[in-house]
Structure 1
Amino acid sequence: MNLRGERQADFAYQAVYRYMINLINEVSREAPVKLPSLRQLATRLNVSISTIQYAYSLLEKEGRVYSVAKSGYFAWPVAATMPIMAGTDLLERLYTAARRPAMVVLSNDEPALLGSLDGALLALERQLVRRYPHHLQPSQPCGVWELRAALAARYTASPTHCWQADEVYIGADLQGVLEILVDALDLKGTVVVVESPCDYLVLRLLQAAGVRVIEWPWRADGRPDLTTLEHLLRHEPVHLVLLSSVVSMPSGNAMTDPERLHVARLLDQHGCWLLENDTFGDLSFAPPGSPLRSLVNPERLIVFSSFEKVLGPEAPFGYLLARQMSNELQRQFLLRSFRLSAIRQRAIARLYE
């Protein structure tokens, strides 16, 4: 089957999406069924692996499929009620239930799902296709320069806390970017302090990589326990501290400016790296104070985030900013060989501008 000649007005991922919907509708109604791998579908449909991956990400957002590490994608049975896997971990059950079709979870952290920007992105892409013909687009494994420059400008706060486009790296999704970061920092066997509760995706990734995770809980009054953090940094061989930039999700807690400054001083005193999670940085109702990244040593700072929380599933790319380890990060991105849509990246850059 060749999708390149089908409905030229559509993008390739839309044709793949329709094909996958038809395929899923044919599966058993009693048990989940394993779907073809990315490579198998790319060969079968004569499209790129990134196109297949993007279609799968849309289906996963809609709750039609789910992924299992090292096993691939599976389709949920086409039934009115989805099995909730009684007896499994509570967080796994909650995550599974939240991915059901048409499910909107109270206090969900994905408001972008309620207001899609797909139309705006497609309109920009149609304009850009005429300006950037496909055959003239060189391969850029770390992301197109326009989007990297837009992100560098967005995160620049002062002459000392500034970023260049070469210090921004864009990957297919947030999980892929974080996996690269774990390898680049060589975190296996190290000690990492994370705020609690921590993003479940990040926590599972660190635990799977053999990282010793120490959780730093907030106090009952919603304030950070700085005494406990200081004790951990003093008595444990902490290599890296993972904190939110502005608001800690899902608890919704936020540090005051003096508390952030105290944390920045502790990190500098003990020579620890700060890994800042800026996934929810744009979702604050009140004007945020100075983020942690503006207070710590920029030479020991890494920021990661994604476009998905703000722009929705049409922009699944993840990204990170780092001044150090440029050679290792470039090597890791080259090894991953992310095949990202250059036109969609440029459209996102236009939205940011």
Structure 2
Amino acid sequence: MRNEAAYIYQRLASRIESQILDGVYRTGDKLPSIRTLCSSESVSHASVMHALELLEMKGFVEARPKSGYYVKSISPLSGVSDRPTRRSGFAPLSIDVSDVIESVFQRVNRPDVVNFGFALPHPSLTPYEKLSKAVASASRNDPELFGRYPQCSGIPELKRQLAVRLSLSGCHVDPEELIVTVGATEAMNLALQVVAKPGDTVVVESPCYFGILEMLERLSLRALPIPSSSEHGLNIEMLAQALDVHSVKAVVLTPSFSNPNGSCMRDDRRKSLLQLLDDHGVSLIEDDVYGDLYFGKTRPRPIKAYDQEGTVLYCSSFSKSIAPGMRVGWLAPGGHFEKANKIKRTQTIGTPPIIQYGLAQFLASSSIERHFRSLRKQLKQQVESIHHAVLSAFPEGTSVSKPQGGFVIWIELPETVNALELHRRALANGISVIPGSMFAIGGTQENRIRISCGNPFGQRSRDAIRTLGSLVRELSVEALSAVPLRKRARN
């Protein structure tokens, strides 16, 4: 199974880009022919074409009919603030993903669609009866809750229960240092606002959860994408190179069962990452929403558990593990508590107290551990079922992640298949998948898709996976048949 940080054509495009920036190829120079590049780089014709098209899109080269590709004189990629150097290989990028995301989500929220798109557990996996009783009990015991504003940072009862759960994962946090938020989304927004200001650079994983990219876009922050693999997570070695070159305010990371590639960093790499950030004085915003959804014997320790310097701003929620509709998350901002709490007060005043009281009661009961055990068992079965179905139905050249927690699968399609077009054709067949381009910036991840395994796997899901496999084959054949046409048009 392949889980490389970049596709063949992206590596080739990056290599040529570096040669242009280093002056190997100068403005007006003609690049080697497609045939020459195929031979010298030992890659396919399709890979060379994709690489040249990517360079053309980024503004580095231009195609001249019946002549070839030439280096352009204009500045490449307006979103890049600094030209990449041989030392870093990366540059911060401006972000513009909201329109793409909105376009996709307008089409997938339909009851007649087989939903592999939204990363949510099925409602049947939510302990809604016990939660509704707990919330009703809270409202009966103190009906005046409806007439009062909540405490800004959260009610003491819930914060104490959160501190208890954090201690079980190795994080020892004073309840008074916690801020209850409207989901992990608000927690991460607060964390970003206390460590960075508009125009600052923040490191993200590539691929990265599209909600994080939207946050950075809204806050006018710049993203510095660092590759992440399904096996090992964030590439710490590349991050170290980037930190030596760029001024970075924070790293946003999901070390346990990252969305979308499902990666889980080893403990030794978590410690190495934290030491690296401590050495550079860079904050870590840790997203741990999937941490409780592990399939093994023990829960992965959050990086926050190793934090001695206050480097980590820890964010999580119960939206993936208990009840999405309650929208309860939390932030452990360390030394940034006062600033984060002030921003919380100006943005939402507080999180609804009745929900907080009901959740605190549920967390204090014996039901919570039974719920988590049952949920993990069910999600593991669903992930394994879809993983096996994809391997059986998709064509050769497909790679599928096999996460050890969470409930999303990251699929690399054959190189010539465009995932956005697959998304469109799948919707026409009543199936929703999320194209990889939503999880990246700078024109990457085009032949990848994310599939959510939150729903029970039955015959309808099995048939949908088979249909997706047929669509992938169809797109692959179309792309290969189009290669001679492109070659004639451009050479």
In the superposition, the TM-score normalised over structure 1's length comes to 0.67
Provide, for residues 196-242 of structure 1, a one-character-per-residue CA deviation record: whole Å limited to 9, x for no partner: 21111111111221211111112486554222011012221111111
**2:326 corresponds to which of 294, 298, 315:** 315
Whole-Å Cα distance in 1 between the matches of residues 112 and 350 of structure 2? 30
Q: Is the partner of 2:208 in helix, strand or coil?
A: coil
Q: Which has the higher helix share?
A: 2
Gaps of 5+ in 2: 1-97, 365-491
Whole-Å Cα distance in 1 between the matches of residues 244 and 329 of structure 2? 33
Q: Is the partner of 1:282 in helix, strand or coil?
A: coil
Q: Which residue of 1 aligns with 2:341?
A: 330
**1:288 corresponds to which of 289, 295, 299:** 299
Q: Which residue of 1 aligns with 2:280?
A: 270
Root-mean-square deviation (CA), in Å? Answer: 2.7
CA gap of 1:221–1:152, structure 2 versus 1, over 3 A, is closer
Which segment drifts farther, 283-292 or 255-264?
283-292
Letter in 2 for 1:132: D
Q: Is the partner of 1:289 in helix, strand or coil?
A: coil
Letter in 2 for 1:111: P
Q: Is the partner of 2:290 in helix, strand or coil?
A: coil
**1:211 corresponds to which of 221, 227, 230:** 221
User: Is 1:239–2:249 an aligned residue pair?
Assistant: yes
Letter in 2 for 1:289: P
Q: Which residue of 2 aligns with 1:152?
A: 163
Whole-Å Cα distance in 1 between the matches of residues 351 and 184 of structure 2? 13
CA gap of 1:307–1:104, structure 2 versus 1, over 3 A, is farther
Q: Which residue of 1 aligns with 2:356?
A: 345
Contact 1:121/1:348 (CA < 8 Å) preserved in 2?
yes
Contact 2:284/2:312 (CA < 8 Å) preserved in 1?
yes
Matches within 5 A, 1:32-43: none
User: Is 1:129–2:139 an aligned residue pair?
Assistant: yes
Q: Which residue of 2 aligns with 1:172?
A: 182
Q: Which residue of 2 aligns with 1:301?
A: 312
> How far apart are 1:328 and its partner, in Å?
1.4
CA gap of 1:285–1:158, structure 2 versus 1, over 3 A, is closer
Whole-Å Cα distance in 2 between the matches of residues 119 and 292 of structure 1? 34
> How far apart are 1:130 and its partner, in Å?
3.3
Q: Which residue of 1 aligns with 2:258?
A: 248
Q: Which residue of 1 aligns with 2:109?
A: 99
Q: Is the partner of 1:247 in helix, strand or coil?
A: coil
Matches within 5 A, 1:58-97: 91-97=101-107
Contact 2:271/2:306 (CA < 8 Å) preserved in 1?
yes
Q: Is the partner of 2:249 in helix, strand or coil?
A: strand
Contact 1:118/1:314 (CA < 8 Å) preserved in 2?
no
Larger radius of gyration: 2
Whole-Å Cα distance in 2 between the matches of residues 193 and 170 of structure 1? 25
Q: Is the partner of 1:319 in helix, strand or coil?
A: strand
CA gap of 1:157–1:274, structure 2 versus 1, over 3 A, is farther
In the superposition, the TM-score normalised over structure 2's length comes to 0.49
> How far apart are 1:96 and its partner, in Å?
3.2
> How far apart are 1:292 and its partner, in Å?
1.4
Q: Is the partner of 2:220 in helix, strand or coil?
A: coil
User: Is 1:143–2:170 an aligned residue pair?
Assistant: no
Q: Which residue of 1 aligns with 2:123?
A: 113
> How far apart are 1:322 and its partner, in Å?
1.3
Gaps of 5+ in 1: 1-87
Letter in 1 for 2:353: A
Paired residues, number: 265
Provide, for residues 292-329 of structure 1, a one-character-per-residue CA deviation record: whole Å limited to 9, x for no partner: 11223351211112221112233112321112122212
